[in-house]
Structure 1
Amino acid sequence: MAISFLPTILFPPPSSLFVTAMSILSCLSLANGGYMETKGQHIQYSKFFNVEATSKKPKDQESKLASRNGMLLVYTPAFLVGLASLMAFRGRDLRFVMVISALIVHFFKRVIEVLFVHKYSGYMALEAAIPICLSYTISTVTMIYTQYLSQASLEPLVDLKHVGATLFLVGIVGNFYHHWILSSLREKGDRQYKIPTGGLFDLVICPHYLFEILEFIGVSCISQTMYSVCFTFGTICYLMGRSLATREWYVLKFGEKFNKDVKALIPYIF
């Protein structure tokens, strides 16, 4: 029943081995990343990760970037891919333009946050920044390419692109707002972590992840391709694992000061 319902809400998968492989790889690798987060193996630009403490190389052989520069390296190529695609594929249908525009806005917001919102107190390993950058860039390319191939197919019976645009806008505004709250907790030069309050932080420790999930659900609804659904499902699994790890980190760091009623990701539930 569920499989027979899919053609009403999704484009048929394109006959592309690359897209099929990337759909499976994105879903499994992101889901595995979320699982590894819960096991203490964290992505190498989180507050849980210490470059100097965990590097296996001698200090004189380490390649490190200032955290701000590392994050710019991570996000900027995917943003430029979106811009280049928008220029290269002029005159395409509204859905195609909306997908590319959503990706551009998503990564442009991240670049702006890196430059003007987030505060940094450490370094990022170059050997970590490069694969993360490639992951974002290849995922962006694949999503745009899949949408391009889908233009040759009939539209799904149920049009979700305007619902998706609404979810995307709610997600990106909510994500930015809670990133701003996090940034406001620390004055310039302050390296001490604090328990965030305000917004949805009084209910969940990672509302910024909750709104990021809404962003990607929105992109999936705009796109309505199997790849975007697989990528979003993997992202949800990853952010669920990361939110659990974040909550555990706060509990260990702040002990009784941390309100145990505050959930990880979804108010009152998870």
Structure 2
Amino acid sequence: MSSPSISLVVRPRGRPIKNLPEDVTVNATDSTAHLFEKIAKGSNFSVHRLRVTKGSDGSPIPNSTEVTVLETGLRNKSTIDVKDLGPQISWQTVFVVEYLGPLLIHPLIYFLRPLIYGTSEPPSQLQTLSLLLVTLHFLKREYETLFVHRFSLATMPARNIFKNSAHYWLFSGVNLAYWIYSPNAPTAKPSNSQITYLGIALFVIGELGNLSTHYTLRNLRRPGSKDRGIPKGLGFNLVTCPNYMFETMAWVGMWLINWSLSTFVFLILAVGQMAAWARKKENRYRKEFGDKYKRKRFVIIPGVY
């Protein structure tokens, strides 16, 4: 027996939406993703550009293949509000553009040293090593973006790409590169080989540990699903977000190699941001999984925070 069809009253919320249908008819057992598709088809918009809420209480209706229209509480003649979120861009594209900045800026400043600094001296071994490690770091990030990460949200407002990219293009791009490859930088001087080797070791362990953690997180989510499991594996018995712990380790290693103030400033900014994200994730795990989740005292650095 087929499920009953229901008619929903559609209202625009905020800016007018041209061609937005005044009503839409769906089956009660249709997924909310199907509802989004019908609204998007009628308005000639992408489903990712639309936010749909219940007219009765303003609660959001998820764009999900696993939630039915009936389960949202909508009934025949219920009202839904549709908001235009504006032009969207995929999260994957944003990440690719973010990490592209350092990959372009570091080689550019490294090879243009004679023009930028007015020096004929060749780059030092530490400067070449720094270029190699920075390049490997962001190539790894591009690889993860394209082949490892699964994004819970498909898109973000297109205008956010400038704000999101500024952190990487300016702080880990121009800021790091200009001072690391300067003829007056600590990297231009002879190195303490023991400290340099320690920095390389921390960098390699951090990068490999970070990659391993990202694969663990990827495997918690089925393709096309927003559901997550409780993460277990390397580092998860120590902190909430071992991916951030290993990221911190890698950048500490980078700092021990180049001793640049700009690297230290970037490290502090990055750790501060990751710590805030990790605390939010710990709170979400506790709320989502309840007693099934073993609460963590430290979220990013064991024994510290």
Partner of 1:69: 93
CA distance in 2, matches of 1:108, 1:117: 13
Seen in structure 2, the aligned counterparts of structure 1 residues 266 and 142 have a Cα distance that, compared at 3 Å, is closer
1:191 counterpart SS class: coil
2:117 aligned with 1:82: no
- TM superposition shift of 1:136: 0.4
Structure 1 segment 249-268 matched on structure 2, within 5 A: 249-261=284-296, 263-267=298-302
Bigger radius of gyration, 1 or 2? Answer: 2
Q: Using the alignment, how far apart are the partners of 1:100 and 1:67 within structure 2?
A: 27
The CA distance in 2 between the partners of 1:118 and 1:152, in whole Å, is 36
Q: Would you say the 8 A contact 1:119–1:186 is kept in 2?
A: yes
> Once the two structures are superposed, what CA deviation does each residue of 1:223-247 show, in whole Å capped at 9, x if it has no partner?
1122211221222222222211211
In structure 2, distance between residues paired with 1:60 and 1:200: 41
Q: Distance in 2 between matches of 1:77 and 1:157?
A: 28
**More displaced stretch, 155-164 vs 188-197:** 155-164
Which one-letter code corresponds to 1:138 in the other structure?
Answer: L
Percent sequence identity over matched residues?
A: 24
1:37-52 matched pairs, under 5 angstroms: none
Q: What residue is the counterpart of 1:200 in the other structure?
A: 235
| Structure 1 residue matching 2:289: 3-state secondary structure | helix
CA contact (8 A) 2:98 2:164 kept: yes
User: Partner amino acid for 2:137?
Assistant: H
Q: CA RMSD in A?
A: 2.6
The whole-number CA distance in structure 1 between the counterparts of 2:149 and 2:185 is 42
SS of corresponding position for 1:149: coil
Q: Which amino acid aligns with 2:161?
A: A
Report how far residue 157 of structure 1 moved: 7.7
Query: Which residue of 1 is the match for residue 14 of structure 2?
Result: none
Q: Which amino acid letter does the alignment assign opposite residue 184 of structure 2?
A: Q
Unpaired segments of 5 or more residues in structure 2? 1-49, 53-81, 115-121
Whether contact under 8 Å (2:126, 2:258) holds in the other structure is yes
Relative to structure 2, which stretch is displaced further, 132-141 or 153-162? 153-162
The higher relative CO (CA closer than 8 Å, separation ≥ 6) is in: 1
Tell me, in whole angstroms, the C-alpha distance in 2 between the residues paired with 1:114 and 1:219.
22
Please give the secondary structure, in 1, of the residue aligned with 2:168.
helix
User: Judging changes above 3 Å, is the alpha-carbon distance between structure 1 residues 59 and 124 closer, same or farther for their aligned structure 2 residues?
Assistant: same
- TM-score (norm. length: structure 1): 0.71
Among candidates 137, 152, 162, match of residue 121 of structure 1: 152
Distance 2:129 2:231 in 1: 34
Answer 1 or 2: which has greater helix percent: 1
Is this contact kept in 2: 1:205–1:263, CA < 8 A?
A: yes
Q: 1:150 to 1:256 in 2, by over 3 A?
A: farther
Is 1:162 the counterpart of 2:194 in the alignment? no
The answer to whether structure 1 residue 146 and structure 2 residue 179 are counterparts is yes
Unpaired segments of 5 or more residues in structure 1? 1-50
Question: Number of residue pairs matched?
Answer: 216
- Cα distance in 1 between the residues matched to 2:274 and 2:152: 23
Q: Secondary structure at the match of 1:201?
A: coil
